[in-house]
Amino acid sequence: MGKNTVHDLLNNADIQDPLDFPGRADAPGLRDLDGALRCKICQELFEAPVVLACGHCFCSLCARNQISEKAVCPVCWKPASEGHLRVNPTMEEAVVAWKGARAYVLRLATDDRTRQNTLRGTPESSHPRPTKKRKTSPDSEIELIESVSGPSSPRRSHVGITKPKSKSKARFTSIERSGEPFSSPNSPDDGCVECPACARQVNASLINEHLDSGCKMPPTKITDAKEKDEWSKLFAGKAPKKGKDRLKADVNDDDTDSPIPKVSYTVLKDKQIRDLLAEHDLLTTGDRPLLIARHQRWVSVYNANLDHMSTQRKRQAELRAEMRRWEEGRRATSNSGTAREVALSINVSEYRRENKAEFAVLVERAKPKKPSLPSNLPQPQGQVKKDHTSINEADDEQSVADITATQENGMVVIDVDSEA
């Protein structure tokens, strides 16, 4: 069963890896290049790369997770802190460019190898990975072409002609009194000419008035909708929004780039943590550890997103979707994945209770032996053993294996924690 499932697992998941590329002999440097643009922690192409104080580069989220676990660089073990993270836009540019080129280069490389193989006369053996990639590459290429061709001719003409027409009409409706807009070389549609003094567009019929008044623009009436907008903007600036209004504003306002500050949860009550979550429109269900984990996760995800170049940033909706996936993943593992580990830990405590008498006997047996132990055995031997028994009993994280070791073989000294 084992091998098949591994195979299925690997084929089902569309996972990119430096090993997609042919080896050094066939395509020198390609594998290394793909590897160099990957984060050493998650082994994906860099997402919002940041550098630590030591100069090593990681995805922002990976670096933040690592620092919260252990505040050192995973490569060189030099101390690291979140305050020292610096964004690396140059690396991000390189990664974005490589993301665009990867499928194409991969196709070239595999085609090249196939050709060389046929030239050599060796029939191409089955390559599950390259064929899969070749199948997917045309799609991504089309996507690429579309995104490139987007801003070119058709859209530009659209932007250049149609849009200003409606826009300028909206702006000058109040100025345009006469029904027929007359055309001039400068103003094809709406009868505006450029003021020779201030270079602003002014309706031809009003240009003299405009010049006489010393280039004052006639008060343009703001349309009702715009007026409302302006007012709401004013209000938004002054009155702090509460509840849902504020949340909506946050969702719309993607340009804010101030990171969420870190919170020390120990000084907060459950209610306050819930408020923090509600502020960002997150779930407020679950027990305290879950609330804290959720808020920490959101802060990491949110702040990591800010380390992207502004063009690469995800929208808040995407971040929220990511959070939902995280919640689902958590639920799934708490139901099935960790079930085994939970069972183990229960077994450990049960096991300890059941065998308490036997442990006691073993400890007792170890004690009186001490004085009569041969001289070459160090005196503290029994002591060490006793310590370990107590460690085992105290430490819930001790694996069940170690406990059994103590039990099955009374003489083996288990040294897991103290000597590591």
> Does the footprint of other proteins cover residue 374 (CB under 8 A)?
yes
Phi, psi angles (nearest 5°) of residue 388: -65, -35
Should residue 414 be labelled a site residue for other proteins when binding is judged by CB under 8 A?
A: yes
**Residue 391 touching other proteins (CB under 8 A):** no
Q: Is the dihedral of CA 227, 229, 234, 235 positive or negative?
A: positive
Q: Least distance to other proteins from the beta carbon of 68, Å?
A: 8
Q: How far apart are CA 192 and CA 38, in angstroms?
A: 55
- Please state, in angstroms and as integers, the Cα–Cα distance from residue 38 to each residue in 17, 75, 111, 147, 204, following that order: 9, 14, 24, 24, 60
The single residue among 5, 125, 252, 266 that binds other proteins, judged by CB under 8 A, is: 5
SS3 336: helix
Taking the least distance from each CB to other proteins, the nearer of 92 and 402 is 402
Cβ 8 to other proteins shortest distance, Å: 10
Q: Given the rule CB under 8 A, which of 226-234, 301-309, 335-343, 347-355 is the region that contacts other proteins?
A: 335-343
Is 397 an interacting residue with respect to other proteins (CB under 8 A)?
Answer: no
Least distance CB 284 / other proteins (angstroms): 21
Q: How far is the CB of 151 from other proteins (least distance, A)?
A: 33
Q: Which of 148, 251, 361, 411 binds other proteins (CB under 8 A)?
A: 411
By CB under 8 A, residue 377 contacts other proteins = yes
Nearest-CA neighbor of 408 among 355, 369, 335, 333? 355
Residues 281-320, one symbol each (x = binds other proteins by CB under 8 A, - = not), give ----------------------------------------
Which residues from 44-73 bind other proteins, rule CB under 8 A? 44, 62, 65-66, 69-70
Question: For the chain, what is the radius of gyration of the CA atoms?
Answer: 34
Q: How far is the CB of 278 from other proteins (least distance, A)?
A: 24
Q: Which residue has the tokens 């030099």?
A: 78
- Contact present, 315 and 306 (Cβ < 8 Å): no
The secondary structure element, H or E, covering residue 60 is helix 60-69
Asked if 401 is part of the footprint of other proteins (rule: CB under 8 A), the reply reads yes
- Residue 197 sits in the site that holds other proteins (CB under 8 A): no
Three-state DSSP at 72 gives strand
- 363 contacts other proteins (rule: CB under 8 A): no
Decide if residue 338 touches other proteins (CB under 8 A).
yes
- Of the candidate spans 7-15, 85-93, 140-148, 218-226, the one that interacts with other proteins by CB under 8 A turns out to be 7-15
Task: Kindly state whether residue 341 participates in binding other proteins, applying the rule CB under 8 A.
Answer: yes
Task: Return the bridge partners of 50, or none.
Answer: 58, 87
Instruction: Using CB atoms within 10 Å of the CB of residue 201, give its burial: 0 to 12 exposed, 13 to 18 middle, 19+ buried.
Output: middle
Please identify which residue in 119, 239, 267, 420 interacts with other proteins, judged by CB under 8 A: 420
Residue type, 297: R
Contacts of 304 (CB under 8 A, 6+ apart): 47, 48, 59, 60, 61, 64
Q: Which stretch binds other proteins (CB under 8 A): 100-108, 206-214, 248-256, 334-342?
A: 334-342
Which one of the spans 83-91, 243-251, 259-267, 410-418 is the region binding other proteins (CB under 8 A)? 410-418
101 residue type, one letter = A
Q: In 3D, which of 263, 281, 273, 272 has the Cα closest to residue 323? A: 281
Residue 34 binding other proteins, by CB under 8 A:
no
Q: How far is CA 104 from the centre of its chain?
A: 25
- The Cα-based distances of 188 to 165, 184, 201, 217 in angstroms read 9, 6, 12, 21
Compute the least distance from the CB of residue 112 to other proteins, in Å.
20
**C-alpha to C-alpha distance for 163 and 46, rounded to whole angstroms:** 38
Binds other proteins by CB under 8 A, chosen from 151, 154, 164, 337: 337
Q: Which of 118, 174, 223, 333 binds other proteins (CB under 8 A)?
A: 333
Q: What are the residues facing 165 on neighbouring strands? A: none
User: By the criterion CB under 8 A, which residues form the site for other proteins?
Assistant: 1-3, 5-6, 9-10, 13, 15, 17, 19, 40-44, 62, 65-66, 69-70, 74-75, 77, 325-326, 329-330, 332-333, 337-338, 340-341, 369, 372, 374-377, 381, 384, 399, 401-402, 404-405, 408-409, 411-416, 419-420
